[in-house]
Chain A
Amino acid sequence: MRRMRVSRREFLSVAGAAGGAAVLAACAPAPAGTDEGQAAAPAMEDVELQLAGWPGQGPELIEGLETFEEENPGIKATWLETPGDYRAKLLSMIAAGTPPDTAFSTDYYTFARDGLLIDITDMLMADPLLGAEDYFIQPQEEERCTWEGRWYGIGSCWVCHHIYYNRAIFEEEGIDPPSNDPDEIWTWDHFVDVARQMTVDANGNHPGDSGFDIENVERWGMNIPYWMHWSFVLSNGGYVWHPETRLYGYDQPEAIEAVQKVADLVLVDQVMPNSATFEAIGMGFVQLLETRTMAMVIEGSWSMAYTHDMQEPLGTAVLPKMKVPATWLSAHLHTIMQGTKHVDESWKLVRFLSSPYYQELFLVSGLWLPSQRALITEDAMDRWMSLEVHREGYRNIATKWVPDYGHPMYGPPGEGEASGFIWPALDAVWIGDKTAEEALLEATPKANEVLENA
């Protein structure tokens, strides 16, 4: 459940699981593609499209939709925003037979499998712009968008994990900060070592020093929101869900080792507080860095958008590697819902949402990272990247970290239920009640049984 909360709040990472959701809904599926709609809509009236999604998109979304309406006379696009239980609301609308025309994806693969989304493969391939071979950053785009070889949506953008750190602390301590360039990536051990030097108690002791007082730490070395251990499972050569079998790989030695190493940051290395979720700490990551409660924080790339008012100098960097450099990638897809009466107009909207113009609106604030090749050229980055938002060296994140080391991660069907076994097991690991091996070898078969039957 921990992750459900996380991903609900982190609006961009919704992907497969997520949603402490409710749904309420019921009744048979919306009739698939009845054509009464086309005939029923009088030609003179505006076609009204709904785009459903979750809050926090900012004024850019409305600006984008207004531009879309200007470019497409006769089509109105309405933004339908749902707080909290977006997934619930969406499912309830589907079950009630009144789905929105277009929507941010949730449970993308499940929806695609169950025929809730319109297959856009043909429209996409026929499109002169989006159909071009080098339009998207590949192979990630195809990997995330296709279910059994067909496209049912297009990614809004990419988001990844990386380090945020307080630059001033590194300068004062005389320690070299980590880099945005994956070629200069830190090893895990070096990362832990720096974190140890950064962790200081009230008497100036570091973890491992005799007399280190864990109850009175003035500054912690780092923080990793626990669900972000995913990136380190990848980095350790493991996988969370197998790309073909779609089963959990938490019983593989690579995953177990990675989970244990993350847990040991608290339990052994003592460089991270034991209440390591932001929720538990009660501070947002910007507050953590600017109050110098922490020297480094691992967070989602979308959070760049919230750092502009940080009172201390900010730096960013790629994650350390366990074996290979790697980061989780995600972001919502824009999809057309089965049951819409306006397939053509909806495609126009989804196509518009996949245009460089629209994506760039969100790149400027730091909320998104590009999923389109045209936006990671030097020229394009001169336009949308700025030092006020993206800080020194951030281009490497867009041009190297995401395209070269990013792994799309979207939950397979049944993941929501199966995670009901995984997260409580991980909870036990984080607080040291069980070792990763004990907890995960016990929980993974149960979770995989759910996935197999999903």
Chain B
Amino acid sequence: MSAINQRLSSWGLNSPAARRNITGYIFISPFILGVLIWFLVPAATAGWLTFQKWNLITAPRFVGLDNIENLFEDELFLQSLKVTTMYTLVAVPLGLVLSFFIALLLNTKIRGISIYRTVYYLPSIVPAVASAVLWAFILNSEFGLLNAGLRAVGLPKILWLQEPEWALPALILMSLWGLGATMVIYLAGLQGIPDVYYEAAEIDGAGAGNKLIHVTIPLLSPVIFFNLVMGIIASFQIFTAGYLITSGGPQNATLFYVLYLYRAGFLHLKMGYAAALAWVLFIIIMGLTVLIFKYVGSMIYYEDTR
């Protein structure tokens, strides 16, 4: 032990500060190693790939900026960007508002509330594969639950998965089934708001609407912000539903960005191009996150500024 200490002190590493640093890094070393092995190395490889033409099979060839230039002539790239943006613009706000609304209702003390909470939450933990199998059935135009419902009230059937204008709404509908994940985060946030705030507001004569606007929303704004950021990140990476249920169709109406990336890389074997697509996606997501932090982040009310 003393030998080690001697050596450490000879490196100037025996001061309390140095020891603290060493201990700290020992604790987080698994993560650092993980980032190196499972993240940085692959990410560097992906970066290198962006400038290569590579079909996995023959040797990679340097092509400079070709992959990036090709992006702007690729109408399917633009289509996938459009589909994903549309999905995000509708599904994320809709999910945020709806789950917020439900969380508000579930934060009341009415009979059977715990059953309601469970029922709203459970769909969000259903495995993606099981969910895809189930919704492919629900959305089936002839024997699906949804069209059975429409038919029961005398409406014509909708070709959910065959009509380009319906396919994306159908998948958005499906995504709303899983809103429990967001809802429960709101709920946790709501339960963290001390009653004194509401009581104070009531003394000031605030009604329910006023309390919502002046107490709940400001106090919950960090949670809303968190859900917004994570929602957008997840939404830009949506893949499973398009892959398992619609295969990107009909007429590329559900050709999500990641699905197109996946196809470019693993189906059409354009690894360099896929890497370029991946980096563009990364930049889009990062850019959006920064923008949101800058413009929405400033509106957040932080209770304790440590």
Q: Give the number of chain A interface residues (Cβ < 8 Å).
A: 42
Contacts A29-B58, A423-B249, A424-B251 hold; do A280 and B267 have CB atoms under 8 A apart?
no
Q: Is B268 an interface residue (CB 8 A)?
A: yes
Contacts A23-B266, A280-B162 hold; do A4 and B247 have CB atoms under 8 A apart?
yes
Contacts A116-B57, A280-B142 hold; do A424 and B266 have CB atoms under 8 A apart?
no
Residues of A within 8 A of B178 (CB): none
- Give the Cβ gap from B284 to chain A, nearest Cβ, in Å: 22
Q: Is B159 an interface residue (CB 8 A)?
A: yes
Q: Name the one of A1, A23, A28, A283 contacting B59, with C-beta atoms under 8 angstroms.
A: A28
On whether the beta carbons of A24 and B266 are closer than 8 Å, the reply is: yes
Q: Is B237 an interface residue (CB 8 A)?
A: no
On whether the beta carbons of A29 and B57 are closer than 8 Å, the reply is: yes
On whether the beta carbons of B266 and A282 are closer than 8 Å, the reply is: no
- Give the Cβ gap from B275 to chain A, nearest Cβ, in Å: 11
Residues of B within 8 A of A431 (CB): 159, 162-163, 250
Determine the distance from Cα of A20 to Cα of B243 in the docked complex, in whole angstroms.
8
On whether the beta carbons of A95 and B161 are closer than 8 Å, the reply is: no
Q: Name the one of A5, A91, A273, A282 contacting B56, with C-beta atoms under 8 angstroms.
A: A91
Interface of B is mostly: loop
Residues of A within 8 A of B250 (CB): 2, 424, 427, 431
Q: Is A172 an interface residue (CB 8 A)?
A: no
Q: Is B269 an interface residue (CB 8 A)?
A: yes
Determine the distance from Cα of A274 to Cα of B56 in the docked complex, in whole angstroms.
40
Taken residue by residue from 109 to 153, chain B's Cβ proximity to chain A (1 for < 8 Å, 0 otherwise) reads as: 000000000000000000000000000010011111000000000
- Give the Cβ gap from B138 to chain A, nearest Cβ, in Å: 11
Residues of A within 8 A of B96 (CB): none
Residues of B within 8 A of A22 (CB): 262, 266-267
Residues of A within 8 A of B57 (CB): 29, 91, 94-95, 114, 116
Which of under 10, 10 to 19, 20 to 34, or 35 or more describes the interface residues of B? Answer: 35 or more
Q: Name the one of A2, A27, A275 contacting B247, with C-beta atoms under 8 angstroms.
A: A2
Interface hits, A88-142 → B, CB 8 Å: 88, 91, 94-95, 114, 116
Interface hits, B156-211 → A, CB 8 Å: 156-157, 159, 161-164
Determine the distance from Cα of A94 to Cα of B56 in the docked complex, in whole angstroms.
9
Residues of A within 8 A of B269 (CB): 23, 91
Taken residue by residue from 245 to 282, chain A's Cβ proximity to chain B (1 for < 8 Å, 0 otherwise) reads as: 00000000000000000000000000001110100111
Determine the distance from Cα of A429 to Cα of B268 in the docked complex, in whole angstroms.
25
Determine the distance from Cα of A1 to Cα of B249 in the docked complex, in whole angstroms.
6
Q: Is A21 an interface residue (CB 8 A)?
A: yes
Contacts A25-B56, A416-B268 hold; do A2 and B140 have CB atoms under 8 A apart?
no
On whether the beta carbons of A424 and B252 are closer than 8 Å, the reply is: yes
Determine the distance from Cα of A21 to Cα of B249 in the docked complex, in whole angstroms.
15
Residues of A within 8 A of B249 (CB): 1-2, 423-424, 427
- Give the Cβ gap from B39 to chain A, nearest Cβ, in Å: 17
Determine the distance from Cα of A24 to Cα of B164 in the docked complex, in whole angstroms.
30
- Look across to chain B and name the residue whose beta carbon is closest to the beta carbon of A23: B266
Q: Is B212 an interface residue (CB 8 A)?
A: no
Residues of A within 8 A of B144 (CB): 282
Q: Is A19 an interface residue (CB 8 A)?
A: yes
On whether the beta carbons of B56 and A26 are closer than 8 Å, the reply is: yes
Name B residues whose Cβ lies closer than 8 Å to a Cβ of A: 54-59, 75-76, 137, 140-144, 156-157, 159, 161-164, 243, 247-252, 262-263, 265-271
Q: List 15 A-B contacts (CB under 8 A).
A: A1-B249, A4-B267, A21-B267, A23-B267, A29-B57, A87-B267, A91-B57, A114-B58, A275-B141, A280-B161, A282-B137, A283-B142, A423-B249, A428-B164, A431-B159
